[in-house]
Amino acid sequence: MRDGSKTGKEIDDHDYVIRMNGALIKGHEEDVRNRTSVYVHTAHSTTSRYFFKKYEYTSAPADEGIKYVMIPETMRDYQWLTGLLRRRRVNRQCPFRNSRPWTYYGGQFDERHFYVLHPDFLRYARNRFWKSCNLNANYWATVRPTNGAFAIFTALYTCDIVSAYGFITEDYNNYFFETGKTQVVFYVNHDYNLQKDTCKKLLNY
């Protein structure tokens, strides 16, 4: 999906809208609309407000009744989660030390609407559904699907019909809100080509 796709109404017409990471909406409503039912994230992706500040991104989506789904990626996520649920600053020596996690959710955080994906579910998704040949490399422990892939897998397990927008394309189109040609960086912990090919297979299933 590119900027100018005008698929916003189509997206919002779904029963549920799942977004993840830097879910930038402001200024792009015609393409992505503005409703969010579920926000899938890691502790790291909640800090997108720093990475995307220049695009006027301020916080994770905070719609009334929104469900937050967290992917426990590393120990830092559990440290974030501890601070979040106790309403305390993160006091462990980690990238989020002294952060106040509950302030990253746009003032709508409610632990009754907060969910954490089970590590066994994440391992199953990684080892069976998004199994990368990089799992045989010496850095296998860092290899995992992207948050977007986990979001798709979670949706497939809970919804009758799943539509996907804005994922990587054959020409490696990057974030929809970036104008002009941008450099796409492939990190070793994510197998982007596997995810692209898997999504194509699902689409044709």
Q: Contact 195/145 with Cβ under 8 angstroms?
A: yes
Architecture of the domain spanning 8-204: Alpha-Beta Complex (3.90)
Q: Are 46 and 20 in contact (CB under 8 A)?
A: no
All residues at 6 or more sequence positions from 86 whose CB lies less than 8 Å from its CB, including other chains:
none
Which pLDDT value is given to residue 1? Answer: 45
Alpha-carbon distances, residue 35 vs 8, 90, 106, 163 (angstroms): 10, 30, 14, 15
pTM across the whole model: 0.86
What average pLDDT score do residues 167-187 get?
A: 62
Band (189; pLDDT cuts 50, 70, 90): confident
Q: What pLDDT was estimated at residue 32? A: 86
Question: Using one digit for the tens of pLDDT, what is the confidence trace for 98-142?
Answer: 999 998 888 778 899 999 999 999 999 988 888 899 889 898 888
Mean pLDDT of 173-179: 55
**Helices and strands per DSSP (H, E), number in the chain:** 7, 4
Listed residue (156, 193, 151) closest to 19, CA to CA:
151
Domain ranges of the chain: 8-204
